[in-house]
Chains A and B, each alone.
Chain A
Amino acid sequence: MSVLSLITGASVPVQLVMLILLLSSLFSWYYIFLKVFTLRRADRQTAEFERQFWSGADLKDLFQRAVNARDSAGSLERIFESGFREFTKHRREPGVDVAALMDSTRRAMRATYQREMDKLESSLSFLASVGSVSPYIGLLGTVWGIMNSFRGLANVAQATLSHVAPGIAEALIATAIGLFAAIPAVLAYNRFAGDVNRLAIRFDSFTEEFSNILQRQVH
């Protein structure tokens, strides 16, 4: 009695549940790996840009570089680019109010920040759903399987363990698959949420600091 025979021997609803769980597990692992790569790259790019920015390079140079390498630019670089673009655009206008100028710059950076955050956080909600729901789906399959195996037992006068055991084993495998899908998803979700949070804090503080630098340039 191997696992394969347990799966093939299960009833159709239980098999359906297993299929759903398998698919969600596959997708969740796919997103986990994808997220690992994305977040690692974002981290690297952010660190790189921070290093460049704080090493005292010229803002115009940085801006130019960011515009040229738009494809491979990191989130922080994009925030910088949008903020600086807005700032230079408004600065050229005659008689511009400093507060209004800073406000629009900050708004522009905010918008880019939101967009970038959305990109980083994408599919985290999927992981959260898989993590919270797949145990229940697996449990549903298990309950269904056990119900079936007990119903089959009703026709037998002398119930022995061997009558019930295979059915229960078949049913339990659904819960096992559900847990297998859920546990990594939950772990990854927590990890990624923390990572994204830390990136968001870095972006936020950069935005504030950059605003201060720009404001000083106006005067």
Chain B
Amino acid sequence: MNAAAAHSREQTLAGGLAFAVHVLLLIMLVFGVSWQHKQVDNAVVVDLWRDLPAAAPPKVEPPPVAKPEPPPPAPKVEVKPPPRPEPAPKSLPKPEPVPKPDIALKEKLEKERKLKEQQEAEAKKLAAELEKKKRAEADALKKKQATETEVLKKKQAADAAAKSLAAEEQKARDALAAQQAAAAQNEIDKYMSGIRNKVKPLVRVPPGVQGNPKAEVEVEVTLLPGGDVLDVRISKSSGNAAYDAAVESAIRKAQPLVVPTGEPFQRYFRRLTMAFRPVQ
């Protein structure tokens, strides 16, 4: 066995093994770490408020106003001429043609009489029936009419109810909108007071203006979304330059200010005008 050859073989073997160890470690690391990291959870920035602004529209539902029964609509019974009962079909059996005089008069007479009587009776019966039928029909018709008017009445009542309900809803909607606006205003106020409360303690009131209610400084603050102060401008000086400067630096120190996001920020907080007074 050649020693040099053996040595070189050992060298290659050692190199290969070293490489294999590293590949193994890399695989272990890649898989081990990615297994533990299935999902990346996003960080959430949370502002803590002690009491929630009543901003969230407290009542989304329109106030459940007790629906007053719609005033009973004037029973505008359309006086529909009660449909006259159809003239009873003149289906009266025509009186039998007068029988011819016969020789057997008596018999005939007798017969005739009988027949007549019979006929009369029949006719009477028929008439009575007819009468009855007519009356029944009229009754039914009347009844029908009555129900119709009833239905009509009901419909009208429902219509009126719907109308009043719609009005009610409209009113509720208006109230809600007003409420929401109020809530939005309320929220804005909350934020404003939050900002004010954050800035106020940072204002180092110079001794000259301490407690002077007239020294009001009005500042116009330009904010970035997220509450960073871009610019502070004194729009109305308090008359004391030191106090103005103190307010301005306090606002800068207080950043990031707590501001809402999105549309309310753009509308109300992009340019913020605030007044500060050196009194509590």
Residues of A that sit less than 8 Å from B by CB: 1-4, 22, 25-27, 29-34, 36-38, 41, 71-72, 157-158, 160-162, 180
Across-interface contacts of A27 in B (CB, < 8 A): 18
Q: Is the interface of A mostly helix, strand, loop or mixed?
A: helix
Let me know if B21 and A29 touch, CB within 8 A.
yes
Give the chain B neighbours of A30 by CB distance below 8 A.
Answer: 14-15, 18
- A162–B43 CA distance with the chains assembled, in angstroms: 6
Q: Which residues of B contact A25 (CB under 8 A)?
A: 22
A2 to chain B, nearest CB (A): 4
Chain B residue nearest to A180 (CB atoms) is B25
Interchain Cβ contacts within 8 Å, total number: 65
Which of A3, A36, A72 is close to B1, meaning CB atoms less than 8 Å apart?
Answer: A72
Q: Which residue of B lies closest to A160 (CB)?
A: B43
Q: Find the A residue at minimum CB distance from B224.
A: A157
Report whether B30 and A32 are in contact in the complex, using a CB–CB cutoff of 8 Å.
no
Contact in complex: B18, A32 (CB < 8 Å):
yes
- In the bound complex, do residue A4 and residue B226 qualify as a contact, i.e. CB atoms below 8 Å apart? no
* Majority SS at the chain B contact face: helix
A31-B10 Cα distance, complex, nearest whole Å: 11
Q: Which positions in B face A, CB cutoff 8 Å?
A: 1-4, 6, 10-11, 13-15, 17-19, 21-22, 25-26, 29-30, 33-34, 37, 40, 42-43, 45, 226-228, 255-256
* Complex A-B, nearest 5 residue pairs according to Cβ-Cβ distance, in ascending order: A29-B18, A33-B14, A162-B43, A34-B14, A71-B3
A-B residue pairs in contact (CB < 8 Å), sample of 21:
A1-B37, A1-B40, A2-B33, A2-B34, A3-B29, A3-B30, A3-B34, A26-B19, A27-B18, A29-B22, A30-B15, A33-B15, A33-B17, A33-B18, A34-B10, A36-B14, A37-B10, A71-B3, A72-B2, A157-B226, A180-B25
Q: Is the CB of B42 within 8 A of A162?
A: yes
Give Cα distance in the complex from A72 to B5, angstroms: 10
Q: A22-B22, A36-B14, A162-B43 are in contact. List 7 more A-B contacts (CB 8 A).
A: A1-B33, A2-B34, A3-B30, A29-B22, A33-B18, A37-B13, A157-B256
| CA distance in complex: A185, B255 (Å) | 52
Whether A2 contacts B30 in the complex (CB less than 8 A), given A37-B10, A157-B255, comes out as: yes
**Shortest Cβ distance from residue B86 to the other chain A in the assembled complex, whole angstroms:** 90
Give the complex CA separation of A22 and B21 in angstroms: 12
Question: Is A38 a contact of B10 with CB atoms below 8 Å?
Answer: yes
Minimum CB distance partner of A29 in chain B = B18
